[in-house]
């Protein structure tokens, strides 16, 4: 299991918590968490999507979906460097929703204060679906969470069918479309095998040209990008670069993606977020890859 729920003091007596809860030391509560602090945009999105929005007391910066989540108080930046522990504690949370690696420094304090926390990994589509189901159990929205995941699965299957159909029409069978995801261009950085976006590209019927690199977001050379001849190039909107500007780079004009006008600027705020909308992203990307 990629995520864990730790309850050093609080006991949620509902049986659905059995797989996630540590035995309580003192206080006992039969209620689901009433004051949740969500420390990432994806955490807030998951909570609101499964119907637990009213249980959210505060969120982190850059939380922008759904609209109701934007109205919640902000405890600081989700990267951990600008988080205010004092502000987090002021909301008297009975659950803090953190991200593995980024928020590990909070664990000792949370445990010392008997505050439950859930650790999100979100490194693949499957882990996101598992997380949604687990958080649904923890918050008392198990049925709603199951419905969300079911809807995601339907979209993912539709995307898979679309990718196979497109391959059959082109005579390529199940051959995947070679995709280059540009994280940044000074220096060049892309997505490796362990990145979330690598899983998204694969689910959409594409092949990440740097899937052979083990790092999540490795620096790559311009020469290696050109030599791998991507058929589709995805540029995050946050870079501010226009699609037609890519072809102006030295040596890029002959890349299949540039020659075929298949350079797309996409909303990386959605594409890279490990939340419920990832299924919509996969479906959208599967259409771009046709």
Q: What is the DSSP string of 179-231?
A: EEEEEEETTEEE--TTSHHHHHHHHTTEEETTTT--SSS-B--HHHHHHT--S
Superfamily name with CATH number, domain 5-140: Nitrogenase molybdenum iron protein domain (3.40.50.1980)
Report pLDDT for 19: 34
What per-residue confidence (pLDDT) applies to 10?
36
- State phi, psi for 23 to the nearest 5 degrees: -65, 135
pLDDT computed for residue 173 by the predictor:
53
- SS3 of residue 153 by DSSP: helix
Predicted pLDDT of residue 83: 87
Tokens coding 255: 């890349």
Residue spans of the domains in the chain: they are 5-140, 148-288
For residue 172, the model assigns a pLDDT of: 53
- Between strands 188-190 and 177-185, the pairing is antiparallel
Return the H-helix or E-strand segment holding 111: helix 107-112
Could you tell me the fold of the domain covering 148-288?
Rossmann fold (3.40.50)
E-strand stretches of 42-163 = 56-58, 95-99, 116-120
Predicted confidence at residue 82, as pLDDT, reads 84
Interatomic CA distance for residues 76 and 67, integer angstroms: 18
What is the Cα 74 distance to its own chain's centre?
Answer: 20
- Give pLDDT tens digits along the chain (290 positions): 444 444 433 333 333 333 343 333 323 245 899 999 999 999 999 999 999 999 999 999 999 999 999 999 999 987 777 888 899 999 999 999 999 999 999 999 999 999 999 999 999 999 999 999 999 999 999 999 999 999 999 999 999 998 866 653 444 555 799 999 999 999 999 999 999 999 999 999 999 999 999 999 999 999 999 999 999 999 999 999 999 999 999 999 999 999 999 999 999 999 999 999 999 999 999 999 98
β-strand partners of 189: 184, 219
- Beta strand segments in 56-160, E: 56-58, 95-99, 116-120
Domains 5-140 and 148-288 share a fold: yes
Measured CA to CA, the distance from residue 75 to residue 61 in angstroms comes to 7
């Amino acid at each position: 299991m990629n995520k864990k729920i730790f309850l050093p003091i609080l006991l949620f007596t509902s049986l659905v918590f059995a797989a996630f809860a540590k035995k309580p030391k003192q206080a006992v509560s039969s209620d689901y968490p009433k004051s949740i602090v969500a420390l990432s945009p994806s955490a807030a999105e998951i909570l609101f999507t499964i119907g637990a929005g009213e249980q959210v007391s505060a969120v982190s910066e850059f939380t922008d979906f759904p609209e109701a989540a934007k109205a919640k108080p902000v405890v600081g930046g989700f990267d951990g460097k600008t988080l205010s522990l004092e502000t987090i504690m002021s909301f008297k949370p009975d659950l803090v929703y953190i991200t593995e690696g980024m928020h590990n420094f909070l664990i000792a304090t949370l445990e010392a204060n008997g505050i439950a926390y859930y650790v999100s990994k979100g490194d693949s589509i499957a882990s996101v679906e598992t997380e949604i189901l687990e958080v649904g159990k923890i918050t008392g929205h198990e049925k709603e969470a199951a419905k969300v995941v079911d809807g995601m699965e339907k979209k993912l299957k539709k995307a898979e069918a679309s990718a196979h159909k497109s391959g059959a029409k082109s005579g390529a069978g199940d051959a995947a479309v070679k995709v280059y995801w540009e994280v940044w261009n000074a220096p060049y950085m892309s997505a490796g095998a362990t990145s979330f976006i690598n899983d998204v590209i694969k689910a959409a019927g594409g092949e990440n040209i740097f899937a052979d690199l083990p790092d999540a977001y490795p620096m790559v050379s311009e020469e290696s990008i050109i030599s791998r001849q991507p058929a589709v190039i995805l540029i995050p909107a946050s870079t501010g670069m226009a699609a037609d500007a890519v072809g102006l780079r030295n040596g890029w004009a002959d890349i299949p993606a540039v020659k075929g006008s298949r350079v797309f600027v996409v909303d990386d705020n959605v594409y890279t977020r490990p939340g419920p909308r990832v299924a919509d992203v996969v479906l959208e990307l599967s259409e771009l890859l046709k």
